[in-house]
Structure 1
């Protein structure tokens, strides 16, 4: 059942074009929102098992900014990487090459969400030139040390089981309606029933859009292999951290520690929301981004 986005009317007012490029063996599909003449261009790295639709609620609030939003290789409409593995370093190399292929090196701001914050951090440390970084729901510490350690261990076992089963069975396990619903219900904090229904519909629609079982397992292993804190001290450009007070993946105390580790970071903590800032409170995220950009020099 299709449920219309509560942000559909705002998004419909923003021009969007789709295209594709080949980067490190991946045919990468991407979507460009807004005017090419906008004062700022932001390139997005979305979260694990997400794709470009996920950040659209934030994009909808910011019509004056140009966003370039690719599906990460192996997810959505982008094919897997062939020249590098689906590791954090591999995705970071892909992001750097993607930005360079579009001629945006040194001009585009990098925005990561969740797993995308790790990818973006690694890319910047490895040489991706950018005027600034934005992290929404940054993974400030390993999920294995987060507030729900038992749930994380169960999730690790779930992906390892999926990797060992025959491919068809593994795929069915990963796509289980009940597993996706449990994940969505546990992360959604809003009590607004219509918004909850839409969020669950988004997860059921897009959470299982990946190329194959191996890619999604490799991506999961990458997502728990490191975190932003491993790169924080070497990210010297202005950085905005948009964190959530009720995030079940990263405790808010770790976000304050991450801010202290980064030479040029500003932390905004949003109350009454968890790991789905982009779905539940995109207007608040957009306000934080606007304030951050207002303090940057015009490119």
Structure 2
């Protein structure tokens, strides 16, 4: 029973630390009842956590009667000391292109010398990153703006921010066997990886006027299946085509979705004010993309 009470107290301190980290001096403090409803912890547990944090000097509040209580002081270092670990965890695509290497480097440098560190998990396919976010394995994930739009509409996630065009990939193209005179037409076998939402969304939209056969294939097998003649074409990342000298031809795609898919976006669980505050305080998107460009050009070595 005692161990259970300690565990609950620890959960309360983590919850309260994140809650007060987001608040600024002068903000109204949520009522105990509001915090109980949000955290699903007991009144006694929440009140004990608040008393401990005040005694430690982590926070100071003042009551203004019917107006509620307001934050008059906070010690962010002490607040963060209550967390079970002093890092946030991000999931992004594997760094197999200079764009992803540069993006990872920019994010890593944004958290360098900050009160919180950054751990990066490299996870292919946006569906897998979403699942990790939903299971609380990751605090935030990197996807394209196109995918972010879709996920924000269909899942309990919030878009924290969107970076400029070309920050996720330079662009997507239609790839096909290099020695072919290719033209999009009915009857083609088009490779698609439905676990990568970008490719699924773009493929369905761009090919909606053609009667083609969609062939499910893992993203990392698309090229070899085109070369082997098992499929005729697919939508692909131009950065990877150029960097790895695949024996493929490619055509540009004239659709606004392509520009949206080229922009990197950060997603967090819906209502996660802690992550939004951390990203807002630590991550300057202009600085991240500037570092990314330096990595792509070779001026800066990747660091992630």
Q: Which has the higher strand share?
A: 2
- TM-score using structure 2 length: 0.30
- TM-score using structure 1 length: 0.31
Question: Whose radius of gyration is greater, 1 or 2?
Answer: 2
